[in-house]
């Protein structure tokens, strides 16, 4: 890495180039080829689920999951306000309405205690988001879903390999989605995956992602479908990444441990949480600055020293497209996290001296403001 330290950078340390060259040499570069099947099977085995179905990106994966579950016009789906916009947008693609819930302080994830107050007779399900690599507290969410006979989608885009009480995220809900964008734990450049144990949901997802074509009758399209397929080249990169996923997860945790140690006696910041029942993968190592410290000024100061940071996501309830649907509702935790949170450089390629430099740069920037 150069003197400039970015927030994220992919670590291509395995067979990625070898497998891509095999695609090029064989001419299998589109949405057919052996690497798609190998990547899907490998990811299903990694999670311990029956089906993993590749697609072109994580947003498409969410859209496919919602469609497979039958979400349609005027339905409602509960979504955390503090998330990346795709979690909400995919609901809108179906003609449904995302209903936003605030976060909890302990995990920064959707607060299970606030779910039932948002359930109506139009509620079809809940999308939980394992934000920044930390699992949602799933047991109360699943209990509420069973009580009200609604589905649970696990948006696991940021949490490959994270665990909740010994269970991998993406294995507990009705269906789960993953992203393989360039900054994720493992990457295909762009790409996504839909995972489930349910035979019918898996079959429906496969049909929907391939323009709705009947799997037994070529060029016959009995339903509206989408071109959401992954390419063989992307799957080849993904397989190379997946073969080293234990290394990728271990390195993220090691980087996070350096940050935690270096910031443990710096009271102006709170570091990424990890609950006793969770094993986070620390997709991004994150901090939340104490109230009164100007987060954007800290970021600008660090950038001048060659350290890139990134703000937390804007909560959905303040975005123009969603403001009208949340008028009068309060989201104090999401608002505070979004205002004071920032993501630190988190690449698996970081060295301890680089992390130490980031920590010292952060401390200097904060001290100038307090």
CA dihedral 27, 31, 32, 37 (to 10 degrees): 120
Query: Residue-wise over 219-232: b if at least 16 C-beta within 10 A, else e?
Result: eeeeeebbebbbbb
Q: What is the DSSP letter of 116?
A: G
Which of 125, 112, 114 lies closest to 77 in space, CA to CA?
A: 125
- Residues 6+ positions from 102 with CB-CB distance below 8 Å: 80, 81, 82, 111, 114, 330, 331, 332, 333, 334
- Residues 6+ positions from 159 with CB-CB distance below 8 Å: 130, 133, 134, 135, 169, 170, 185, 280, 281, 283
* Residue 184: active-site member: yes
Please say whether the beta carbons of 120 and 148 come within 8 A. Answer: no
CA dist 32 → 28, 38, 302, 315 (Å): 7, 12, 45, 38
Residues in the chain: 370
- Dihedral sign, CA of 138, 143, 148, 151? positive
For residue 218, count CB atoms less than 10 angstroms from its CB and return exposed for 0-12, middle for 13-18, buried for 19 or more: exposed
- Residues 6+ positions from 2 with CB-CB distance below 8 Å: none
CA dist 100 → 97, 318, 330 (Å): 10, 11, 10
CA angle 300–350–256, rounded 5-degree value:
80
CA pair distance 117, 367, nearest whole angstrom: 42
DSSP 349-367: T--HHHHHHHHHHHHHHHH
CA pair distance 50, 56, nearest whole angstrom: 20
Per annotation, catalytic residue among 97, 168, 184, 209: 184
Catalytically active residues, by annotation: 184
């Amino acid at each position: 890495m150069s003197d400039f330290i970015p927030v994220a950078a992919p670590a291509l340390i395995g067979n990625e180039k070898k497998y891509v060259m095999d695609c090029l040499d064989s001419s299998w570069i589109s949405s057919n080829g052996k690497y798609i099947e190998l990547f899907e099977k490998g990811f299903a085995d990694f999670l311990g689920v029956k089906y993993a179905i590749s697609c072109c990106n994580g947003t498409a994966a969410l859209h496919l999951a919602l469609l497979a579950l039958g979400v349609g016009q005027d339905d409602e789906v509960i979504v955390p306000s503090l998330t990346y916009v795709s979690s909400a947008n995919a609901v809108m693609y179906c003609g449904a309405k995302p209903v936003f819930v605030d976060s909890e302080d302990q995990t920064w994830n959707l607060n299970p205690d606030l779910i039932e107050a948002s359930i109506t007779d139009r509620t079809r399900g809940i999308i939980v988001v394992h934000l920044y690599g930390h699992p949602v507290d799933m047991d109360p969410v699943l209990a509420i879903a069973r009580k009200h006979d609604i589905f649970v989608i696990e948006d696991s885009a940021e949490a490959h390999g994270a665990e909740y009480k010994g269970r991998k995220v993406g294995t507990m809900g009705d269906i789960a989605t993953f992203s393989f964008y360039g900054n994720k734990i493992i990457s295909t450049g762009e790409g996504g995956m839909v995972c489930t144990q349910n035979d019918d949901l898996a079959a429906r997802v496969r049909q929907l992602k391939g323009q709705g074509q009947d799997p037994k009758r070529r060029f016959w399209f009995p339903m509206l479908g989408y071109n959401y397929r992954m390419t063989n080249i992307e799957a080849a990169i993904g397989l190379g990444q997946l073969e080293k996923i234990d290394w990728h997860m271990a390195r993220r945790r090691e980087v996070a441990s350096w940050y935690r140690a270096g910031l443990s006696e710096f009271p102006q910041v709170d570091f990424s949480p990890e609950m006793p029942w969770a094993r986070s993968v620390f997709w991004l190592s994150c901090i939340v600055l104490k109230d009164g410290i100007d987060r954007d000024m800290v970021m600008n100061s660090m950038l001048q020293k060659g350290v890139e940071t990134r703000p937390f996501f804007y909560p959905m309830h303040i975005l123009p497209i969603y403001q009208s649907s949340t008028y009068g509702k309060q989201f104090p935790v999401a608002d505070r996290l979004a205002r004071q949170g920032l993501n630190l450089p988190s690449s698996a390629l970081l060295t301890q001296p680089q992390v130490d430099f980031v920590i010292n740069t952060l401390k200097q920037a904060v001290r100038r403001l307090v």
